[in-house]
Structure 1
Amino acid sequence: MSTALRTPRRPAALALGLAALLVATAGPALAASQTATTAVAAEVAAAPVVANPGGQVNLQWDAVRLQMTATGGVAPYTWSASNLHLGTTINPSTGLISGVTRGSGTRTVTVTVRDAAGATASTSFTWRVIRDACPRC
């Protein structure tokens, strides 16, 4: 073989060797970067979701207990609710809505959860309280 044919192969072999060296050196850093990106994507994708309990109907002066639930996010959760019927409250630690319904009417209740990472989610549902025609019969 002539040396003219060997000369072009040496730069190609050198380039392949250099590329292999760069990949081997950057491999752990690249893998760590990809792992961090995957972790951030998983955290973003795992925002909390509040389960909707559906429409609620009670009579006036009923004792109520409605447990709200959430999935995803980072525990512990903090719960809040707006537009609850008079006499009912939500436990900020457990998400339990309880109390005695006073008054009557239909309300749109919004329940919000905030996870430990600060992500929030909410759901809304209607809650109808019917005035009993004969509360002491």
Structure 2
Amino acid sequence: MVSEFKEFAMRGNVMDMAVGIIIGGAFGKIITSLVNDMIMPVVGKLMGGVDFSNLFINLGDGDFATLAAAQEAGAATLNYGAFIQSAIDFLIIAFAIFMMIRAMNNLSKKEEVEEAPAEPSEDVVLLREIRDALKK
């Protein structure tokens, strides 16, 4: 059983998947930073200075100026600003992955076209016909 697991784990597809997961995690952090630190402040500024990370609906008693104050008081909140940021994260990641897969598909199509054998020249065809005639 150990040898079967070792054989499974050492297959190329499993190793490729592990590398993909690790790179995907790092890529996700980069996109999250891009959205939180660069895109959302610009979108918030264009929308009149709105800070999306601080948008919430208080479901409990009391009135809180910020999400941090509501969370510190232990109030139940509906954090729709965080949801908006996560949705934008997802859209950017999905688009980036789409573009990457599209580029990989285009590269593989070009390789397939290049691998197709070229038609023989007229000289080669003529020589083959002569060879076949001489064999008869």
- Using the size of structure 2 for normalisation, the TM-score is 0.31
Higher helix share: 2
- Using the size of structure 1 for normalisation, the TM-score is 0.31
Higher strand share: 1
